[in-house]
């Protein structure tokens, strides 16, 4: 029977519930369990697809086309396993299901209420992953204990524990121990209060994970144990780490996995196999090379907006034993007048980011022109690829009004155009081309050299696409299509014939880069940046 581990958060948000959950899952996986992670978000949006990056950071897309919270990216990067629609649930989704059922007459005659109908639907979603064959299901409850909107989740957790038997459930509460410099002390009171709040909801945490800047002494552990009804060994220290990838090893040292298994009555004799993980960390921490890569985007003050790209650079960098310094560049800062050479000349490569709308487009196009004409390695993702096509048409083919219809709906030369099946789409949520699609990679291309295989599958999130009417003209002049969707004949990868490394992709490779499987295009791009730097020097 599947075991369920719940992770709640207390005191403040942003304590890293996602990373703790992913680290625990990694340790359980390394002990041979089939672990997965699920996140419940308490907001009313049906999914985060309609939220802008200022609100919610990056929107992560799964193979089956779910637009999800960026924590799912951590789950995949840590576990090296895909997630799905079932791994991210929001309050909006829960209510939508219940209300649809009500309209269909499923509750005919009954008053539909938070308890039991909403809590039943939450419990159904929790059980779903168990039915898919996982034996350890970690459920992260978004938000902070004490929030009004979290209450139905806590109530569902309380019921669920009774339904399947408390011996099959572990509750972990992640909390903050603030350090007061005036008192020179870590303070436990906020944690005591937050545990009290949990108790009010009928939940006694089994394990406390304490996020802290300073080591937690045995004395503090004993104090927390006393006030929060726990054994002192179940108070776990989570010290700030250099990188998120250190956290599994820190949790191993703190025996978080052992404490969880003990609570479940499981004696694991296997030593966790973290060979590959440690090898990755070794490379990450001892680079022999370094490169500077410009990330040209719209949300550069918000690293979370490009979370998966940053992490893919970490994985691809480690694979090259190279430290990648990502230099954020605001596309709007390089729009007109600016001396772009001054800004970009220190760089060993540029990545033009995905995005929506008109803002910053000209800056992106100028940066691409610079990379194309100066042989600087270029990697364009989604909108970045579309801008590369527009730049080439305008500056090489001299089609001055070449544009994407997203930016200029009335252009006579729509080199990037709305996809046919998007023309009738009116509503916004979940209606883009989403999820994994196959792609055939042409021989003798840069992409093929990276992937080392002909058939790939990559994830998408867009409405516009390369307009194949221009394909012949482009190919004759040096921009070639090297990746094609075989079912719809869509151009998914473009390259420049006479350039050391110029690749644009319509899909999002960053979503599939993992610690133990760095994305081949990121690995190849970073390698090209190292070569560029060497030849320049």
**Any idea which residues carry the catalytic annotation?**
382, 508, 510
One character per residue 410-449, x = contact with ligand GLN (rule: CB under 6 A): ----------------------------------------
- Select the span of 189-197, 269-277, 296-304, 457-465 touching ligand GLN (CB under 6 A): 457-465
Report in angstroms how near the CB of residue 4 gets to ligand GLN at its nearest. Answer: 35
Instruction: By CB under 6 A, name the one of 158, 223, 283, 463 that touches ligand GLN.
Output: 463
Looking at 280, 299, 464, 470, which residue binds ligand GLN (CB under 6 A)?
Answer: 464
> Using CB under 6 A, which of 170, 383, 402, 407 touches ligand GLN?
383
Per CB under 6 A, does 406 bind ligand GLN?
yes
Q: Is 187 in the site for ligand GLN (CB under 6 A)?
A: no
CB-based contact 46:96 (threshold 8 Å): yes
308 bridge partner residues: none
Q: What is the nearest approach in angstroms of ligand GLN to the Cβ of residue 507?
A: 9
Under the binding rule (CB under 6 A), the answer on residue 227 touching ligand GLN is no
Write the CB contacts of 527 (distance below 8 Å, at least 6 apart in sequence).
320
Query: Which of the ranges 234-242, 321-329, 368-376, 461-469 carries the binding residues for ligand GLN, by CB under 6 A?
Result: 461-469
Decide if 275 contacts 250 (C-beta within 8 A): no
Please give the size of the binding site for ligand GLN, defined by CB under 6 A: 10
Contact 176, 13 (CB under 8 A): no
By CB under 6 A, name the one of 137, 138, 172, 382 that touches ligand GLN: 382
Is residue 462 a contact point for ligand GLN (CB under 6 A)?
yes
When asked if residue 492 is in the footprint of ligand GLN (CB under 6 A), the reply is: no
Closer to ligand GLN at the Cβ: 134 or 464? Answer: 464
For ligand GLN, the closer of residues 43 and 356 by Cβ is 356
Q: How far is the CB of 525 from ligand GLN (least distance, A)?
A: 17
DSSP code per residue over 349-376: EEEEPP--SSTTHHHHHHHHHHHHHTT-
Counting other chains too, the contacts that 390-397 makes at CB distance below 8 Å and 24 or more residues apart are 390/365, 390/415, 390/416, 391/365, 392/474, 392/477, 392/479, 392/496, 393/470, 393/474, 394/365, 395/369, 396/477, 396/478, 396/479, 397/473, 397/474, 397/477
- Which member of 77, 93, 448, 461 binds ligand GLN (CB under 6 A)? 461
Of these, 10, 355, 377, 524, which contacts ligand GLN (CB under 6 A)?
A: 355
State which H helix or E strand residue 378 sits in. Answer: strand 378-381
Helices (H), 352-479: 361-373, 383-395, 446-451, 471-476
Instruction: Find the shortest distance in angstroms from Cβ 197 to ligand GLN.
Output: 40
- The span from the CA of 143 to the CA of 14, in Å, is 9
Rule CB under 6 A: choose which of 317, 354, 414, 435 binds ligand GLN.
Answer: 354
Given strand 433-441, what is the order of strands in its sheet? 322-330, 289-297, 349-352, 378-381, 502-505, 490-496, 479-485, 433-441, 455-462
CA dist 511 and 62 (Å) reads 8
The one segment of 190-198, 250-258, 353-361, 481-489 that binds ligand GLN by CB under 6 A:
353-361
- Name the helix (H) or strand (E) containing 497: none
**What is the contact mask toward ligand GLN in residues 290 to 329, using x (rule: CB under 6 A)?**
----------------------------------------
Nearer to ligand GLN, 322 or 382 (CB): 382
For the chain, the first-to-last Cα distance in angstroms comes to 60
Q: Give Dmax (Cα) for the chain.
A: 78
C-alpha 385 chain-centroid distance: 21
Chain residues binding ligand GLN by CB under 6 A are: 354-356, 382-383, 406, 461-464
């Amino acid at each position: 029977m599947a075991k369920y581990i719940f992770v709640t958060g207390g005191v403040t948000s942003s304590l890293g519930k996602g990373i703790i959950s992913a680290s625990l899952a990694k340790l359980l996986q390394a002990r041979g369990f089939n672990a997965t992670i699920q996140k419940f978000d308490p907001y009313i949006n049906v999914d985060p697809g309609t939220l802008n990056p200022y609100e919610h950071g990056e929107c992560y897309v799964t193979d089956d086309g779910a637009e999800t919270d960026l924590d799912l990216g951590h789950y995949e990067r840590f576990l090296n396993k895909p997630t799905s629609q079932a791994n991210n649930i929001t309050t909006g989704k829960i209510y939508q299901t219940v209300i649809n059922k009500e309209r269909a007459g499923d509750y005919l005659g009954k008053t539909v209420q938070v308890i039991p109908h909403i809590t039943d639907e939450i419990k159904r979603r929790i059980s779903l992953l168990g039915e898919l064959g996982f034996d350890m299901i970690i459920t992260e409850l978004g938000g902070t204990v004490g929030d009004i909107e979290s209450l139905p989740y806590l109530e569902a957790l309380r019921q669920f524990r009774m339904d399947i038997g408390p011996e099959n459930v572990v509750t972990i509460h992640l909390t903050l121990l603030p350090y007061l410099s005036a008192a020179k002390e870590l303070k436990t009171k906020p944690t005591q209060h937050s545990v009290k709040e949990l108790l009010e909801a009928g939940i006694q945490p089994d394990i406390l994970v304490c996020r802290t800047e300073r080591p937690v002494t045995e004395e503090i552990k004993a104090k927390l144990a006393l006030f929060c009804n726990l054994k002192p060994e179940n108070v776990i220290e989570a010290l700030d780490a250099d990188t998120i990838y250190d956290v599994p090893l820190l949790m191993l040292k703190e025996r978080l996995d052992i404490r969880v298994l003990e609570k479940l009555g499981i004696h694991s004799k296997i030593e966790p196999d973290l060979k590959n993980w440690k090898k990755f960390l070794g490379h990450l921490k001892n680079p022999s090379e370094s490169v500077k890569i410009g990330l040209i985007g719209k949300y550069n003050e918000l690293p979370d907006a490009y979370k998966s790209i940053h992490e893919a650079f970490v994985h691809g960098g480690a694979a090259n034993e190279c430290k990648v310094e990502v230099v954020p560049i605001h596309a709007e800062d390089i729009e007109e007048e600016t001396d772009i050479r001054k800004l970009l000349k220190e760089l060993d490569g540029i990545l033009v980011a995905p995005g929506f709308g008109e803002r910053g487009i000209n800056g992106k196009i100028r940066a691409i022109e610079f990379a194309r004409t100066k042989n600087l390695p270029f990697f364009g993702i989604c909108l970045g690829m579309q801008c590369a096509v527009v730049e080439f048409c305008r500056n090489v083919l001299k089609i001055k009004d070449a544009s994407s219809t997203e930016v200029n709906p009335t252009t006579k030369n729509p080199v990037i155009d709305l996809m046919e099946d998007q023309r009738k789409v009116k509503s916004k949520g979940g209606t883009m081309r989403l999820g994994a699609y196959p792609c055939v990679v042409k021989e003798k291309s840069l992409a093929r050299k990276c992937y080392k295989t002909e058939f790939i599958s990559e994830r998408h999130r867009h409405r516009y696409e390369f307009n194949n009417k221009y394909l012949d003209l482009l190919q004759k002049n040096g921009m070639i299509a090297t990746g094609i969707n075989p079912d719809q004949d869509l151009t998914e990868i473009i390259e420049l014939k006479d350039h050391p490394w110029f690749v644009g992709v319509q899909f999002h490779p960053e979503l599939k880069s993992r610690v133990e499987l760095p994305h081949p295009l990121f690995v190849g791009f970073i390698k090209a940046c190292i070569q560029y730097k060497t030849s320049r020097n």
